[in-house]
Amino acid sequence: MTKVISIIDSKKHVGEKVKIGAWVANKSGKGKILFLQFRDGTAFFQGVVVKNEVGEEMFQTAKSLTQETSVWVTGVIREDTRSKFGYEIGIEAIEVVGTSAEYPITPKEHGTDFLMDHRHLWLRSRKQHAVMQVRNEIIRATYEFYNKEGFVKMDSPILTGTAAEGTTDLFETDYFGRPAYLAQTGQLYAEAGAMAFGKVFTFGPTFRAEKSKTRRHLTEFWMIEPEMAFTTHEESLVVQERYVAFLVQSVLDNCDYALDVLERDKELLKSYTQLPFPRISYDDAIELLQKNGFDDIVWGDDFGSPHETFIANSFSKPVFILNYPKAIKAFYMKPHPTRDDVVICADLIAPEGYGEIIGGSERATDVEYLEEKIKEEGLNQEDYEWYLDLRRYGSVPHSGFGLGLERMVTWISGNEHIREAIPFPRMLHRIFP
Ligand code: 4AD
Ligand code: MG
């Protein structure tokens, strides 16, 4: 019996005869030699069919294979110094498993709408495959990082009765006669978890009914939200930068081939692992913008993406912007001890114009302050009593943050648009496929 292997393991089988279940990604060559590009889900590589070696009938079978036909291919693995992957298969036999009708995504260029309409097939292509490998590595490394650091993974509910990140972009649904919302964040539950387990992290889908069409926003995205008891915001910032540097290093260590496919500058990525990350206050960021021709922005405004990009470009690594105005941040953030107008928080802005990847803060612990904020936001205090209980029963200083998975994937992959960072993106005008 010939051994069945995956393409990614080719290097362990040089000189051996093996069998691989794969799809035909492309085909070229003429005369008596044929080159078939294969993909098997783990990687892409080339197969070579020589007429004189396989005989007329097998050669004709190979020649007739259409794009995306699934096959069992048998042959000998050998080194291929001309390809980035470094290995190929000298084909001895091909057995068709499933034929493929005329495949819509040909090797030529296609428009974005067309590709998005065919997302279920587009995922098979080389670049999308590479992006998903980066995504997978970031997820894997996240668990590694927090497990090593003694955090407990805690699942927060998707259906909730509370709004935590403002009421403007809530997805509301009927919950047996009362309104419920798709979670905008797991944070409030993570805070309960931190009081039960000390250090927790949630990781799950979060939802925002964002009505804007930007290259940074999804309506459904995945967020990693660590929350730590007995932890100041200062200490949380150190966890944040260590976590981000760990993710970048993990992708460099384990996604070398994917980064090649994505043509990502590895030296540049490596430079982002040097800690600490620079910091700038919100006040100074506003001044920096005003001094550089952004006449439209005044203290109190939130940053738009051109602002974030300008600030990011003023540094060579991700940069923390600290202490935003109270009025533009969430109700649960701790007010500054000596200033009435700002809260103890930070956003981490990625380099190269990729925007905010982390939002975090120390959490308010004063029950009366929180009650007031809840009222101010027009929220129903009754729905937040359970949250206020966390302050009534052994409250401690605590801090946490949320990293947007797709923002991180987009940045590390060097992609133009966030839609390619998730298998099936949900956006303003897209719910299919
Ligand atoms: O800044 P945000 O809204 O913070 C929170 O939700 C807090 N509860 C986090 C916490 O302290 N536990 O969102 C956090 C991150 C952003 O920095 C961004 O990376 C990502 O989530 N994000 C989005 N990603 C894609 N599409 C959207 N519409 C996003 N909104 C936020
Ligand atoms: Mg934010």
Q: Domain boundaries in the chain?
A: 3-98, 119-421
**318 Cβ inside 6 Å of ligand 1:** no
Cα–Cα distance for residue pair 410/415, rounded to 1 Å = 5
Bridge partner list, 47: 36, 89
With b meaning 16 or more CB within 10 Å and e meaning fewer, what string describes 366-382? eeeebeebbeeeebeee
Closest atom, ligand 1, to C-alpha of 217: 26
pLDDT at position 212, please? 81
The domain made up of 3-98 has a fold known as OB fold (Dihydrolipoamide Acetyltransferase, E2P) (2.40.50)
Residue whose token pair is 């105005």: 325
Cα–Cα distance for residue pair 50/147, rounded to 1 Å = 51
Of the two residues 148 and 211, the one the predictor is more confident about is 148
CA atoms within a 13 Å half-sphere pointing along the CA-CB vector of 101: 2
The DSSP output letter for 116 is H
Determine whether 117 is exposed, middle or buried from the number of CB atoms within 10 Å of its CB (0-12, 13-18, 19+).
Answer: middle
Q: What is the mean pLDDT of residues 28-43?
A: 94
Among 356, 412, 419, which residue has the most ligand 1 atoms within 8 Å of its CB, making it the best to mutate? 356
Q: What is the pLDDT of residues 163-196, one digit of tens each?
A: 888 888 999 999 999 999 999 999 999 999 999 9
pTM of structure: 0.96
pLDDT score of 210 more than 90: no
The domain made up of 119-421 has a fold known as BirA Bifunctional Protein; domain 2 (3.30.930)
pLDDT at position 397, please? 98
Cα–Cα distance for residue pair 278/295, rounded to 1 Å = 25
Could you tell me the distance, in angstroms and rounded to a whole number, from the CA of residue 147 to the centre of ligand 2?
25
Cα–Cα distance for residue pair 106/84, rounded to 1 Å = 22
- Using an 8 Å Cβ cutoff, are 17 and 74 in contact? yes
Could you tell me the distance, in angstroms and rounded to a whole number, from the CA of residue 335 to the centre of ligand 2?
17
Give every CB contact of residue 25 below 8 A, 6+ residues apart in sequence: 37, 38, 39, 44, 67, 68, 124, 126
Per-residue pLDDT band at 108 (split at 50, 70, 90): confident
**226 Cβ inside 6 Å of ligand 1:** no
pLDDT score of 356 more than 90: yes
Cα–Cα distance for residue pair 243/319, rounded to 1 Å = 14
pLDDT at position 168, please? 86
Give Cα separations from 183 to 39, 180, 362 (angstroms). 37, 9, 21
**Side chain identity, residue 397:** P
* Fold agreement (3-98, 119-421): no
pLDDT score of 104 more than 90: yes
pLDDT at position 286, please? 98
**404 Cβ inside 6 Å of ligand 1:** yes
pLDDT score of 213 more than 90: no
Q: What is the mean pLDDT of residues 384-408?
A: 98
Please report which ligand is nearest the Cα atom of 189.
1
- Using an 8 Å Cβ cutoff, are 328 and 302 in contact? yes
Which residue has the CA at smallest separation from atom 24 of ligand 1? Answer: 404
pLDDT score of 140 more than 90: yes
Closest atom, ligand 1, to C-alpha of 187: 12
This model of the complex carries an ipTM of 0.99
pLDDT score of 29 more than 90: no
Could you tell me the distance, in angstroms and rounded to a whole number, from the CA of residue 25 to the centre of ligand 1?
37
Which residue has the CA at smallest separation from atom 30 of ligand 1? Answer: 217
The pLDDT > 70 percentage for the chain reads 100
Per-residue pLDDT band at 273 (split at 50, 70, 90): very high
Closest atom, ligand 1, to C-alpha of 210: 28
